[in-house]
Structure 1
Amino acid sequence: MKRTLTTLMLSLIAGITAVPATAAAPAPAPMQHVEWSRNANIYEVNIRQYTPEGSFNAFAKHLPRLKKMGVDILWLMPVQPIGEKNRKGSLGSYYAVRDYTAVNPEFGTLDDLRSLVKQAHGLGMRVIIDWVANHTAFDNPWTVQHKDWYLKNDKGEIFPVTYTEGAEPEYWTDVTGLDWTNKALWKGMSDAMLFWVREADIDGFRCDVAGKVPTPFWNEVRDTLDRVKPVFMLAEADKPELHEHAFDMTYGWDTKDIFKDIAKGKADARTLQAFLAKPPKAFPPGAYRMRFTSNHDENSWAGSDVELYGPAFKAMAVLAATLPGMPLIYGGQEAGLDKRIAFFEKDPIAWKTYAYAPFYTDLLALKHGNRALWNGQYGAEPQVLETGNDKVFAFRRALPGNAVQVTVNVSGQSQRYTLAGGAAQMLAPWDYRIDVQQSKAQAAR
């Protein structure tokens, strides 16, 4: 990192003092994750909007650039054809799947996708695809071939997905819900997911609305997929039970909301301290949580990075990259994504320059090179540090031989702070400091 990252080569760092054992039952063993995920980051790709062409082949030209930036896992938004019946906008939602085992002709062919995956693998990256198991388009062949696989209204008709349990009802008029009480659906969905692992050699799935699908199905399909090749599974959900067997990672909506509140002056270091001291939910040991400032939903419906974060953007991205969890970059953020991308129309990213690419390159290299920042049980828990200032948040993550200390000004004014045993220091508005301590043996790895 530039002025804010200091690297100190020290002798082996002492571990944290052990806490005496209690008579409580031993904690369950953490889920073992595929080795390549342990210090990985994830990058979301909106194929339609990534290039003017909106194709797999056009996106493939960006792979060397992303590899240079340090990207590990590519998450492709849904690659299947989009429903035409009840379509929203002129192009429709990526999440209204018309055929589970076909490729959206907007993007290219199955061979084009195979080529993209092969190129990514050749560069040492992995590829997961979005999977929509909760619902389909109204003109998906299953609505005719397997009508018993769908939820129906009092008249025996399939109907739009409707959610009324939230603060405001949601009516997804372009999709209809699947009936997961029918076990025949389980086999059909499992076979469809297997198709992509076998035919395109993908490395896993990001599962849309995963919490609405029975966890036992996910547990079952994870075993089925792993028998073909070890996969990586990301759930768009934050149910702890999903981590017990099926999913490597769930959404960190909790920190995303804190980041947004801090940027708007509605929260400060005390909010982060309280979150780390008592998280809203207790997750199994080793659970990966995805940390992010934006994704396709946030950008299109909540606001661009400029709207949500303004000058606080880098500070929040630093927290997303260094707090426990796996950092996500939404494609375009490395170019300073300053607009809401249209969801149902063609609206390509305006790349201009890659102004934030050096910033992200440094953050991703920081995670790769410091075991204290690795994901799940492979990294270290954070120790909050007292700064004497509620507008300055500091924490340390340490393992034997490696420690990373992060200090962030979570306000738009210059702030003075003091860490234990140190002199008073200043941080400019939204500035940050990252200090690395690493033994010679650890640095050589």
Structure 2
Amino acid sequence: MKQLLFPDDTQFWYETLRSMSHIAYGGADFGEVVSTASRITEGDYAGWYTEWSATADRVASQAQKALAAGHRTSARDAFLRASNYYRSAEFFLHGKDCDPRHDHAYDRSVECFRAAAALYTTPRVTPVEIPYEDTTLPGYLYRPDDSGTPRPTVVMHNGFDGTAEEMHFFSALAAVERGYNVLTFDGPGMPGPRHHQGLVFRPDWENVITPVIDFAETIPEVDETRIALLGLSMGGILAPRAAAFEHRIAALIAVDGLYDLGQTSVRNIPGSREEAERLLRADSAPELDAALEQIMAKDPIARWALNHGMYVMGVDTPRAFNASYLDYTLTGGIAEKIQCPTLVCDAEEDEFFKGQPEQLYAHLTCPKTLMLFTTEEGGGAHCHTGATRHANARIYDWLDETLKNTHP
């Protein structure tokens, strides 16, 4: 897709498109996004935070004034947009040593979202705490109405850099519109548990999903025989990993499908895969360390990914982050263990994981569908950013047919 803003900064353009994408379900207004972006200079990370924070503060203030005046719908809508703008403001602040402003912006994003959730009547959006090991995971339960009728339910989570709150705009409301309950949550490594509990990502995601499914089964409105799992972005490898071992999942959706994150770690290291892995895991590899530092100096996307990766994996060096990715794989027969019907989504111009959806699809032995989203139809970017309603229509039509869901 042509970069309409930030023509020489792919990173800033994609994150701007991401906010534009959330317009479809109330997470932004076009004029607010364009006005904010127009005040930011390409490559100016300080300016990115400053301008998105200023927009978020202004919209949050509007929400408070509307609420005080009794205008609940206007307040809810503004709180939703402010939540998303605070999320965007915080996006580039992570690293081994995080910018201290990141906690404030993240907490404001959650506060605004919860204020909006409290103003919903249909659907009901309720914050939940899901028991997990010796702590809890934050999330939200969506119910289409108060009838108490058991319904098919979609458990969903984000990926490398997104929040449970953002899933509201990506996919949660789309599911509720079609009569599904929805349970969104942040797992270890995702923003809530990382910010407040210090929990980092883990590759054995079944040990995250199993307690989430346990929790879902305690909810009277959940039809235990029709629980689907949807993973977004890096969730496209986490959710399939969980489904390989947690067989209560009735349907799996990977947006987009991933097979082996280690491929991204080794692709710029000369020599065989085995040699690259040895260097990444070695106690000392000064030449590789220096090469990674050079890549970070030259490539802003790599610099962000490696800094954020150190933060969410809880490691101290770019090489250690790349080494951690080696453990996130469905090789060795793991993909073949998935039993439920599986939808693997693919984006024509995915700039991060090109070709991996096809790899996952090829290794599945369960009932399976590969769904391509093209640039011509506006869905060719990673996770179909910019084509939210189109993508959700195709995805949920598949799920309706798979789970025999009927809705008005």
TM-score by length of 1: 0.28
Q: Which has the higher helix share?
A: 2
Larger radius of gyration: 1
Whose RCO is larger (CA < 8 A, sep 6+)? 1
Which structure is higher in strand share? Answer: 1
Q: TM-score, normalised by structure 2?
A: 0.30
